[in-house]
Copies of this chain bind each other. A is one copy, B any other.
Amino acid sequence: MRIISKAAAMQKCALQWKCRGVRVGFVPTMGYLHAGHLSLVREARKRVGKNGKIVVSIYVNPTQFAPTEDLAKYPRDLKRDLKLCRDAGVDVVFTPTDTEMYPRWGESLSSPTEFSTYVVEEKLSQTMEGAARPTHFRGVTTVVAKLFNLVLPDVAVFGQKDFQQAAVIKRMVADLNFPVKIIVAPTLRERDGLAMSSRNKFLDADERAQAVILFHALRAASLTVKKKPVSALRLKADLKEFITAAPLARLDYVEFFDPETLAPTAQVKRGTQMALAVFVGKTRLIDNMQL
């Protein structure tokens, strides 16, 4: 397994593969890998075959965090990540630094020689995570565009846990004609149903026990709409109440929408997508499910 930290070296490697017709599968991550990430790696391998190459990027992208968010304390453990990647049969781990990705980042805010190009998605990114974190998706689309240009993958695999992110990326790829097939792989869950996430590490024992409330809320909503459609307003109120069962939890948002267009629905029925964000203590968790 090769570890590449320079953007130019990553792109050179990718261009050499391209010239030789080697298929490339790509899993972009922020590191602190868990079984969910490894399932994305397996999915990527399935898509490109044993003669293909798998690239995992490990990069905590500053442009997708607001100044008030958890960038500085986002969990990191590169040594462990590298071992997991090696064991998973990854070919290249790309671990760029901030100054590799954003030359002159923060060096001089007034200088016209610093970074100034962004990729913006202006529709699907407006609700939910985009409303709660206004500059988040601009950072995501920009860094993913950069990574695609550096890794030149045929296939890239994203996790369904970040449902809206996957939708925004698919829209970006279609709109800007990136020659990349986007695969969205199912959310992996702990035994009690909590969606796997690097941020689960922040939870203390009590919070961890109560964090399962997101999964239970999704299941409760599924049950509710199984027989007949329910008004979204009504169900939101019921779920807000439902979540008070976990005293450490505080609902940020819950939304019901079309899984393709992300258009909000007034009537929630089977097949409607539900997504929610909940603070458990100081940790903000998200989850989603097709009801």
Contact = CB atoms under 8 A, between A and B. Distances in A.
A9 to B, nearest CB: 12
Contact of A176 (B21, B145, B177): B145
Given A19-B18, A178-B149, A179-B149, A117 B117 contact: no
The count of identical subunits is: 2
Nearest to A16: B21
A117 B179 contact: no
A11 B261 contact: no
Most buried by B among A113, A114, A124: A113
Interface string A78-122: 000000000000000000000000010000000111111111111
Give chain A's interface residue range (CB within 8 Å of chain B). Answer: 35 or more
A146 B176 contact: yes
Contacts of A174: 103
Most buried by B among A11, A114, A115, A117: A117
Interface in A252-273: 260-263
Contact of A177 (B19, B116, B149): B149
Nearest to A142: B176
B262 A112 contact: yes
A117 B142 CA distance: 11
Contacts of A121: 116-117
Contacts of A199: none
Nearest to A7: B177
Contacts of A15: 179
29 contacts: A7-B177, A11-B177, A11-B179, A15-B179, A18-B19, A19-B20, A20-B21, A103-B174, A112-B123, A112-B124, A113-B260, A114-B123, A115-B175, A116-B122, A116-B123, A116-B175, A117-B120, A117-B121, A117-B141, A117-B171, A117-B175, A117-B176, A118-B120, A119-B120, A119-B176, A142-B176, A145-B176, A150-B177, A152-B179
Interface of A: 7, 11, 14-15, 18-21, 103, 111-124, 141-142, 145-146, 149-150, 152, 171-172, 174-179, 260-263
Given A118-B120, A152-B179, 11 more contacts: A103-B174, A112-B261, A115-B175, A116-B124, A117-B119, A117-B171, A117-B172, A118-B122, A119-B145, A120-B120, A150-B177
Q: Which 4 A-B pairs have the closest CB atoms?
A: A117-B175, A116-B123, A19-B21, A149-B177
